Structure 1
Amino acid sequence: MAVDHTEELRAVVRAYLADRPGAPWQAFARELGVAGLAVPERYGGAGCGPAETGVVAEELGRALSPHPYLQTAVLAVEAVKAGGDEAAMSRLLPALAEGAVTATVVLPGDGELRLESGRLTGRVPYALEGEVVLVYVEGRLVEAAPSGHVPYRTVDESRPLAELVFDGVPVRRAGDGRGWERVRDLGVAALAAEQVGGAQRCLEMATEHAKQRRQFGRPIGSFQAIKHKLADVLLLVESARSAALAAHRSAAHAAVAGSYCTEAYLTASGENIQVHGGIGVTWEHPAHRYLKRAGSDAQLFGPPQAHRARLAATVLEGAALEGAG
């Protein structure tokens, strides 16, 4: 029987994160080659697709890793590829694939920005951290160095955010800006995989505790109320996994995953704390960190309501085209 290469990749990433949880991004990216999974081979990458990047994202979410994989290996790589500028791809993709630099992407609507005579002005109130900043502005993708960078002290310290200020800074062409919707959707798909990984770990922690914690002479997992909680979370996690696996197929699938996986993670992380009881809200236990990550993830590409609104627009547009036909 053939071995699924994605499961081999999962095992390697999981073992690395368990053995070296404090390893820096450069070491993680270089030693496992994960930063270049979606980079074409001619630029030093592996030429893989969403199935492979999703496995890594899921394992990072399970470990609650702070590695900038989402913005660097998914958003930035996909933005540069979609931009189609050969000079930009030759300049940026090899460094991204090697893990030599981190990067972030400012999508349309993330800030108030304008280009004047080849210089970028404006402010991005919330951006994922990255050394290289790629900005979609006025139909173009450009590389720009912020004149101001103010990191936030966030509740979820595993996902650093910063304010970026551009005060007439020069820009460098990085590609065409027409493919940004697809880049966003691939980002939503990778985030959905992260959320599945986090929700799965919450379920595992809650199940382990329910087997070990005893009340009235019995494990609390034998009580019907706890059984129902865990069964409901299991259903959510498995359904979310299916949504995440399909998220890269189309904008509609990405919107479904963005909505469902976000709410599944919020529920799983909350129920994990409920099953643990008082210990679940102590600073020493990791349960609260998963709840914080679930909350921050719920705002990253917009809340579940925004994804559902986008899905509704896509469905209604499709229905209108069918009716016209």
Structure 2
Amino acid sequence: MDVGFSEEQHEIRRALREALDKHSDSAAVRAATATDHGYDTQVWRRLCDQTGLPGLAIPEQYGGVGLTFTEVAIACEEMGRALYPSPFLATCVQAAAALRHSRDADACERYLPGIAAGTTTAAFAHTEPTLTVRSAGGEHRLTGTATHVVDGAHADLVLVPARLDGAPALFALDAGASGLTRTSLPVLDQTRTQARLDLTETPARLIGTPGEPTGELLCRVREFTEVAIAAESVGGAFRCLDMTVEYAKLRVQFGRPIGSFQAVKHRCADMYVQLETARSALRYAAWTATEAESSGPGGDELPLMAPLVMTTATDTYRRIAEETIQLHGGVGFTWEHDAHLHLKRATTSALLFGPRSRQRERIAASAAI
């Protein structure tokens, strides 16, 4: 087992960091969140063309790069560091994973090339499959509501779980489908948009096979998403620590940089230790996700590692973001400083899948506690 990074993976990190430092500084992030889509579509298009970002883990036969989930985690970490608002999580992690694992060749041929090219954006309703389905003559129509769908307001494609004859099933909705109403929701974290989807006899296309295969697929998508969110959180926490250390070197009090005071040094050291713990867990979780993609023996640990690393990383991110605000003093509490953006991202990321108790129950069940 090797959970280290190769030179190629380090180069992917360097290239993404350089691009995001150029196109996603603080001013760009704030401007992007004020747009209708919640992200800068031109910057997203440029990143897609220059880096192949959306197709990292999509097979080459569908126009992707054909890499592994480890590279996806690296990308998420760098985007979390920059607080980059983009459709990457919903489109390239959730929807792409659902399609790849659906074993539906027609659906993959139809949707994955557009996702890999960055011309198709997608959303995945990760709520419980409570929508009702009416089937007739081979056609399916869905009725119900899906809430808190990340990037659901403007995605070109929406994947929603439902129950078909009592069995879990996955359906695809086109953006302009009749009976589909999408409403943007107010959110604490303005760098990640969410929406409510109301469906009334909305025509939908069945993806994959209903029943146990789709139930396993939904679990796998949730696990990949949890690792991706953990990666974002580790990247964001590192950015908070870097900002704090830099400020402690420059801020002078009583004739000395505040970083020379023992109390400040100890708090920064504690932040670093917590972050290294989360990063180590992330590396192992990303490896288990990669193993799960290739049906390797390490993939059996993903159901345990995914909720474990998400709870660890998001808790660490929140604590470090709070410390960042405190150690910056008065300026850390202002709207102009980025610390509050990180605290909001950390708080909302932890709750994307509902109460933390659910994840802890899954951890206990997987660990047979």
Q: 1:100 aligns with which of 119, 122, 142?
A: 119
Q: Deviations over 1:255-288 (max 9, x none)?
A: 1101100100000110000100110111111111
Residue of structure 2 equivalent to 1:123: 145
Instruction: Give the deviation of 1:303 after TM superposition.
Output: 4.2
**Equivalent position amino acid for 2:99 in 1:** V
2:204 aligned counterpart, secondary structure: strand
Instruction: Compute the displacement of 1:224 (Å).
Output: 1.6
Assess if the C-alpha contact under 8 Å between 1:258 and 1:304 holds in 2: no
> Which residue pairs with 1:167 in the alignment?
200
2:191 to 158, 167, 177: 158
Alignment deviations for residues 89-136 of structure 1 (CA, whole Å, 9 cap, x no partner): 000000000000111111251x63111121111101211013210012
Task: Report the 3-state secondary structure (helix = DSSP H, G, I; strand = E; otherwise coil) of the residue aligned with 2:119.
Answer: coil
* Residue 3 to residue 245, structure 1, CA distance change in 2 (3 Å): closer
SS of 2:202's equivalent in the other structure is strand
Q: Are 2:159 and 1:137 aligned? A: no
TM-score (normalizing by structure 2): 0.82
Matched residues, number: 315
Unaligned residue ranges in structure 2 (runs of 5+): 29-41, 289-301
In 2, Cα distance between equivalents of 1:91 and 1:173: 13
Corresponding residue of 1:283 = 335
Write the distance in 1 (CA, Å) between the matches of 2:355 and 2:80: 18
Give the match for residue 203 of structure 1.
241
Secondary structure at 1:141 match in 2: strand
SS at match of 2:208: strand
| Alignment-mate amino acid for residue 175 of structure 1 | G
Q: CA shift at 1:174, angstroms?
A: 2.3
1:231 equivalent in structure 2: 269
Match for residue 215 of structure 1 among 229, 238, 253: 253
Measured after TM superposition, the shift of residue 26 of structure 1 is: 2.2
- More displaced stretch, 142-151 vs 232-241: 142-151
Aligned-residue sequence identity (percent) comes to 39
Shift of 1:27: 2.1
Give 1:182 shift. 1.1
Contact 2:131 2:161 in 1 (8 A): no
Q: In the aligned structure 2, how far is the partner of 1:174 from the partner of 1:180?
A: 12
Q: Does 1:148 align with 2:181?
A: yes
State which drifts further: 239-248 or 187-196: 239-248
What's the CA shift for 1:304? 3.6
More displaced stretch, 197-206 vs 172-181: 172-181
Residue 15 (1) aligns with residue 18 (2):
yes
Against the structure 1 CA distance between its residues 159 and 108, is the aligned structure 2 distance closer, same or farther, given a 3 Å change threshold? closer
The answer on 1:82 being equivalent to 2:134 is no
Distance in 2 (CA, whole Å) between partners of 1:24 and 1:212 is: 32
Please give the alpha-carbon distance, in whole angstroms, between the structure 1 residues aligned to 2:69 and 2:276. 19
RMSD across aligned positions (CA): 1.6
Q: Distance in 2 between matches of 1:9 and 1:302?
A: 32
Q: Whole-Å Cα distance in 2 between the matches of residues 61 and 18 of structure 1?
A: 12
One-letter identity of the residue aligned with 1:289: L
Deviates more, 1:132-141 or 1:203-212: 132-141
Letter in 2 for 1:136: P
Query: In structure 2, what is the Cα distance between the partners aligned to 1:285 and 1:216?
Result: 24
8 Å CA contact 2:236, 2:342 repeated in 1: yes
Deviation at 1:173, TM superposition (A): 2.0
- Compute the displacement of 1:19 (Å): 1.3
> 1:323 corresponds to which residue?
none
Q: Which residue of 2 aligns with 1:322?
A: none
Does the aligned pair in 1 maintain the 2:127–2:146 contact within 8 Å?
no
Do 1:101 and 1:131's aligned partners in 2 also have CA atoms closer than 8 Å?
yes
Check the 8 A contact 1:71/1:105 in 2, yes or no.
yes
Asked whether 1:24 is paired with 2:43, we answer yes
